Amino acid sequence: MVINNIVLIGAGNVATQLGKALQKQGKNIVQVLSRTLGSAEKLATQIGAIPISNPDQLTRDADLYILAIPDDEIQGVVDSVNFHDSLLVHTSGSVGMEVLKNGSSIFGVFYPLQTFSKTRDVDFSDIPICIEACDEVTCLLLTNLATEISSDVRKINSAQRQSIHLAAIFASNFTNHMYTLSDEILEKENISFDILKPLIRETAKKIEYKSPKDSQTGPAIRGDMKIIEKHIQDLQNDPAKLVAYKIISKLIMDGHW
Amino acid sequence: MVINNIVLIGAGNVATQLGKALQKQGKNIVQVLSRTLGSAEKLATQIGAIPISNPDQLTRDADLYILAIPDDEIQGVVDSVNFHDSLLVHTSGSVGMEVLKNGSSIFGVFYPLQTFSKTRDVDFSDIPICIEACDEVTCLLLTNLATEISSDVRKINSAQRQSIHLAAIFASNFTNHMYTLSDEILEKENISFDILKPLIRETAKKIEYKSPKDSQTGPAIRGDMKIIEKHIQDLQNDPAKLVAYKIISKLIMDGHW
């Protein structure tokens, strides 16, 4: 069996990018279900699907139902929607697989490890896709589907996936917030954020060649207290950045502060 | 006048990469001065310079003396070494220009905004070089030199440069530490850091197209307290990551926590 007919539940960042990638590989996205018909329509028109907002209109004939909705909505949808006992997956990094049991007897997880935006198309080919499934046959089915859009498909259990998700928050969400803080610092001096882009590129590139631990530079790793104290002075009127500066410098110095 | 003959004081990351870039553009690196002759030799042989460890051996005939040494050593070197009243610059982000006054009457700052390692060669062509100088003629001289190795040369005063340096610490040093923390989380589960690399690449790439503020994703910006509290539970035995997680999540939520 090969998965061909797919229903997307959700029309957010993940649903949009995953739907586009699957459709590009020739998959038939039958329906897009979203609470708001407008959102469903917006995505459905891009991938040749039928938009619906009423779960009762869900087709019986899909090979796969993908829940790409906020984590805290998964349980509610699983409990209230009829998936006709077909293959049901969610795409969440932090929700266990077992939550799907109530929705169908065939279930799994299809977690693409990436930061998605509706309006920024990403190349799926190198995005790690973490697969977990209720049994071996389902695992193989999902792995085959994932392999059609990515060259990096991994079998990952719920506990590992939760660690990966937590790691991803540090590596991506928190990293992005560091960019935001630096942008704010420059804004105060009327300097364009552009000036930092080559540095940000190189910082991300460096860890392709050596471990982040070995890539660390800056006053904290050098133990240069003179600069650190100067920066703490400079940030006196900006308590949010001050606390971030102190804590992260301390962490880099590994508590020897 | 064009700067041709250059002396490097220092043999660390910045001296190495800047020396290589200047030499590649046809500049004559006359000498490399380092406290340890071995370090001076290591760099000097790569760029056709003479290694020295005694400041008394400094040539009189250089057009430019570049201090690429740790911030807290600049003052000491300036006060104790004879630069024959020639053009003297430092490469520091956080040290003011005026500290050089004692070393020469012609002075300035030549600050390349990048994270450097001795062993990783970087393409200087897009690295912003921040120039400051004691007078207009010197500013022009340094700007011309910088333009030979980079297409992004900016006139930046000491106060602005210090803000840029502080912003760079958030955008690079702190970002790299976020990578380190994520690496440690994965290590515990025996998962290779490789799995995060596409995510890290995309996170850095995203901000080329939209502001970091608009690029923010993850549970904190969504206000998803359920996941946040779960992560806080997961990190109970790791106080360093726990405090980082709490603080940065709070900052992303902009204090509404």
Contact B166 A122 (CB under 8 A): no
Residue of B nearest to A114 (CA): B199
Confidence bin at B256 (pLDDT 50/70/90): very low
- How many angstroms separate the Cα of A36 from the Cα of each of A6, A10, A49, A79? 20, 10, 15, 20
Q: Please determine, looking at this structure, whether the domain spanning A5-156 carries the CATH number 3.20.20.70.
A: no
Residue of B nearest to A162 (CA): B231
A115 reaches B (C-beta below 8 A): yes
What are the domain boundaries of chain A?
5-156, 162-252
Taking the CA atoms of chain A, what radius of gyration do you get in angstroms? 22
Reported as type and span, the H/E element at residue B237 is none
Contact A224 B71 (CB under 8 A): yes
Confidence bin at B192 (pLDDT 50/70/90): very high
In chain A, positions 34-93, which contact chain B (CB-CB < 8 Å)?
70-72
B206 reaches A (C-beta below 8 A): yes
Taking the CA atoms of chain B, what radius of gyration do you get in angstroms? 22
Contact B211 A185 (CB under 8 A): no
Pairwise CA distance, residues A20 & B217, whole Å: 20
Q: Are the CB atoms for B139 and B58 separated by under 8 Å? A: no
Q: What pLDDT is attached to residue B257?
A: 40
Contact A113 B196 (CB under 8 A): yes
Pairwise CA distance, residues B124 & B45, whole Å: 21
Task: Convert the pLDDT of each residue in B57-87 to its tens digit.
Answer: 999 999 999 999 999 899 999 999 989 899 9
Backbone φ and ψ for B116, nearest 5 degrees, come out as -110, 145
Q: What pLDDT is attached to residue B144?
A: 98
pLDDT of B193 over the 60 cut: yes
Q: Report the CATH architecture of B162-252.
A: Orthogonal Bundle (1.10)
Average pLDDT, chain B: 95
**A152, A154, A211, A227, best to mutate vs chain B, most B CBs in 10 Å:** A227
**Residue range B154-164: average pLDDT?**
96
Pairwise CA distance, residues B109 & B129, whole Å: 10
pTM of the entire predicted model: 0.92
pLDDT of B174 over the 80 cut: yes
A126 reaches B (C-beta below 8 A): yes
Task: Convert the pLDDT of each residue in B16-66 to its tens digit.
Answer: 999 999 999 999 999 999 999 999 999 999 999 999 999 999 999 999 999
Q: What pLDDT is attached to residue A120?
A: 87
For B199-202, the CB contacts below 8 A with 24+ separation are B199/A113, B199/A114, B199/A115, B199/A168, B199/A171, B199/A172, B200/A171, B200/A172, B200/A175, B200/A204, B200/A207, B201/A204, B202/A114, B202/A115, B202/A122, B202/A172
Q: What pLDDT is attached to residue B118?
A: 86
Task: Convert the pLDDT of each residue in B122-145 to its tens digit.
Answer: 899 999 999 999 999 999 999 999
ipTM more than 0.90? yes
Residue-level pLDDT, tens digit, chain A, 257 residues: 899 999 999 999 999 999 999 999 999 999 999 999 999 999 999 999 999 999 999 999 999 999 999 998 999 999 999 898 999 999 999 999 999 999 999 999 999 999 998 888 889 999 999 999 999 999 999 999 999 999 999 999 999 999 999 999 999 999 999 999 999 999 999 999 999 999 999 999 999 999 999 999 999 998 989 899 999 999 999 999 999 999 999 999 984 34
Contact B189 A240 (CB under 8 A): no
Q: In sequence order, which residues have a C-beta less than 8 Å from that of residue B174 and are 6 or more positions away? A: A178, A244, A248, A252
Reported as type and span, the H/E element at residue A200 is helix A197-206
Pairwise CA distance, residues A11 & A34, whole Å: 6
B237 reaches A (C-beta below 8 A): no
